[in-house]
Amino acid sequence: MMNIREEYIKYFENKGHRQIPSSPIVPENDPTVLFNTAGMQPLIPYLMGQKHPYGKRLCDYQKCVRLTDLEEIGDKTHHTFFEMLGNWSLGDYFKEESISYSFEFLTKVLNIPVEKLAVTVFKGDDKIPKDEVSAKTWMDLGIKREKIAYLGKEDNFWSAGDASPCGPDTEIFYFRSDEEVPSKFDPSDDRWVEIWNNVFMEYYIDEKGKVSELSQKNVDTGMGLERIVSVIENVDDNYQSSIWKDVIDLICEISSKPYEGNEKAMRIIADHIRTATFISADPAKIKPSNTDRGYILRRLIRRSIRYAKELGIDINSDYDKKVSSIIIDKYEKYYPELKDRDYIFNILKEEKQKFSKTLEKGLREFEKILKHSNDITGDIAFKLYDTYGFPIELTIEEAKRRNLKVDEKGFHERFKNHQEKSRTASKGMFKGGLLGHSEIETKYHTATHLLNAALKQVIGNESCQLGSNINTERLRFDFPCDHKLTDEEKIKVENLVNRWIEEDIPVIKKQMSKKEALLSGAECRFIEKYPDIVTVYYIGDFSKELCGGPHVKSTGKLGHFKIKKEQSSSSGVRRIKAILE
Ligand code: SER
């Protein structure tokens, strides 16, 4: 079978590109995102004009994690982890060559018939003209006029979010069906699937949405490996392609169940264990926790366990190790960080044990409750959820086993009610008493964010807020750290905070959904305790925290920051007391 990953690199190397290694999934110098979500992400500085040590033509396969589709995992095409094949021109070739390379690779290397291809190009708007160059290039190569669709900004303009290089793109589609290829391309006909995206990055979009021209014209292309492999292997379910087939077969064997009828659970287990394996192996050393990336890792592992239970797998067996192991076998040749298998297996196992304990407690409670009542009311289901972390699906499952009914509607009503209450409570909390609102306390709140950000830069990105307390005299801040801060570290932290104060940086407040906050990479401790709509405070590009406030409008108002004390708080946790003078 053809190894598309290797063919791709070979092809672009022959065209003068140099292969760059895949960056870690946790971005190294980009606090704005939780994970790399596209191949171009680690290349942003170079797309903006910085010189890349490997030159102007690059290619790679990049590990990516996208969480926007988490709820959709379980269907035929979604994954939380995927690899993106990419090639770039950093101010070198532009539209014609880029399109010609893609066309040649698809039709000559992968042998896709031209008739099965169609493309979209940017139709232009009041600021950026219609992309005639791309359309003409496609036609010169043999793509018929009827197979080109002109679409607007929603479809044919790509950026990695706010503050990113961006530009119009041309997307390549493949007709995934045995039916006759229609003569006219209709992008809304889902037999046409997008396989490759060539972005012509000549612009930059800032946080406020203002678009300006970049100093150089770049090309950024991305092709999802899972998608192209399933196309070439002619399967319409990605999980039946050679990437997944043996993993799914293994899950069938472990659960003694066929794939048919159990697709959703099996896909979720396969997908989530793969992503958890890669996140655990990342040099950033993420561990399951209740915040940020650790929270995502925890959710993925726990969700895979729930679906394993659903399939009747004995979760205390080493099934997760087996699945992770077969995944590592496939990938370690390309991603050497996977070599430390025991470390990865251990993370999966420890989290499984923690989750089991929570579930056991819930089960005991469940039994107790059953002694006094028959059917499970919404209130009881909610208590199991709220106090014992018992997912509603599990309550339903356990109830079914005992021939009992669960008042699901009642549960959801209680759940909604609770969300509203906690929303009001947290509003009230921030208004009254718990968090002080005097001018000096407000300043300490902002200083706390600066201190948090400075510690990340001085002692490491894994530093975070474990506890904070503010009064009119001082701030107190607890953070994870395995050593007493040296004088040098303390001075560095103070200097950084004071520099940011001098720079008088605006403190920007944005409201968003919890999901958006998580995806934006904001520091979100105990996110589950917050209402659905949360407030995130941004300071420059170095601080992004979910917080109830209050904060000053800009850092210049804080005065001079000084660390008064640095001491141990508990094992592995240090405490700083600091003042503004
Ligand atoms: N950045 C573009 C994408 O992710 C092309 O690589 O689709």
CB of 8 closer than 8 Å to CB of 15: no
What's the CA gap between 270 and 80, in Å, rounded? 11
CATH 3.30.980.10 domain extents, the chain: 439-580
265-274 tens-digit pLDDT:
999 999 999 9
Tokens of 392: 């509603």
Residue 195 Cα, ligand 1 centroid: separation in angstroms?
Answer: 11
User: Residue 392 pLDDT more than 90?
Assistant: no
Per-residue pLDDT band at 425 (split at 50, 70, 90): very low
87-107 tens-digit pLDDT:
999 999 999 999 999 999 999
Residue 475 Cα, ligand 1 centroid: separation in angstroms?
Answer: 43
* CATH architecture type of domain 4-235: 2-Layer Sandwich (3.30)
Check pocket membership of 156 for ligand 1, CB cut-off 6 A: no
108-119 tens-digit pLDDT:
999 999 999 999
Provide the β-strand partners of residue 203: 166, 213
Check pocket membership of 199 for ligand 1, CB cut-off 6 A: yes
Check pocket membership of 38 for ligand 1, CB cut-off 6 A: yes
CB of 59 closer than 8 Å to CB of 86: yes
Reduce the DSSP state of residue 208 to 3 states and report it.
coil
Check pocket membership of 468 for ligand 1, CB cut-off 6 A: no
CATH 3.30.930.10 domain extents, the chain: 4-235
Check pocket membership of 40 for ligand 1, CB cut-off 6 A: yes
CB of 80 closer than 8 Å to CB of 70: yes
What's the CA gap between 488 and 154, in Å, rounded? 50
Burial tier of 348 (Cβ tally within 10 Å: 0-12, 13-18, 19+): buried
206-218 tens-digit pLDDT:
777 788 899 899 9
Check pocket membership of 87 for ligand 1, CB cut-off 6 A: no
Mean pLDDT lowest for which of 275-279, 338-342, 425-429, 556-560? 425-429
- HEC secondary structure over 11-74: HHHHCCCEECCCCCCCCCCCCCCCCCCCCCHHHHHHHCCCCCCCCCEEEEEEEEECCCCHHHEC
What's the CA gap between 252 and 240, in Å, rounded? 13
Per-residue pLDDT band at 432 (split at 50, 70, 90): very low
Check pocket membership of 197 for ligand 1, CB cut-off 6 A: yes
User: Residue 532 pLDDT more than 80?
Assistant: no
User: Which CATH number, 1.10.540.10, 2.10.10.90, 3.30.980.10, 3.10.20.600, labels domain 439-580?
Assistant: 3.30.980.10
Distance from the first to the final alpha carbon of the chain: 69
Strands 573-580 and 561-570: antiparallel
Provide φ and ψ at 277, rounded to 5°.
-60, -45
User: Residue 78 pLDDT more than 80?
Assistant: yes
What's the CA gap between 348 and 178, in Å, rounded? 41
User: Residue 434 pLDDT more than 80?
Assistant: no
Tokens of 86: 């990419």
Tokens of 25: 């999934």
Residue 43 Cα, ligand 1 centroid: separation in angstroms?
Answer: 12
Predicted structure pTM score: 0.69
CB of 507 closer than 8 Å to CB of 485: no
Check pocket membership of 477 for ligand 1, CB cut-off 6 A: no
User: Residue 429 pLDDT more than 50?
Assistant: no
Residue 281 Cα, ligand 1 centroid: separation in angstroms?
Answer: 24
Per-residue pLDDT band at 456 (split at 50, 70, 90): very high
Residue nearest to atom 2 of ligand 1 (CA): 222
* Average pLDDT value over all residues in the chain: 88
Residue 546 Cα, ligand 1 centroid: separation in angstroms?
Answer: 28
Q: Looking at ligand 1, which atom is closest to the CA of residue 37?
A: 4
Residue nearest to atom 4 of ligand 1 (CA): 38
Closest Cα partner for 575 from 484, 492, 450? Answer: 484
User: Residue 326 pLDDT more than 70?
Assistant: yes
**DSSP string for residues in 530-580:** S-SEEEEEEETTTEEEE------SBGGGG--EEEEEEEEEETTEEEEEEEE
Burial tier of 178 (Cβ tally within 10 Å: 0-12, 13-18, 19+): exposed
Check pocket membership of 42 for ligand 1, CB cut-off 6 A: no
300-325 tens-digit pLDDT:
999 899 899 889 999 999 999 999 99
Write 143-147 long-range contacts (CB < 8 A, 24+): 143/103, 143/114, 143/117, 143/118, 143/119, 144/183, 146/183, 146/184, 146/185, 147/117, 147/118, 147/119, 147/184, 147/185
Residue 28 Cα, ligand 1 centroid: separation in angstroms?
Answer: 19
Check pocket membership of 222 for ligand 1, CB cut-off 6 A: yes
Check pocket membership of 505 for ligand 1, CB cut-off 6 A: no
Residue to substitute in 197, 198, 205, 225 for testing ligand 1 pocket (most ligand atoms within 8 angstroms of CB)? 197
Q: Looking at ligand 1, which atom is closest to the CA of residue 198?
A: 5
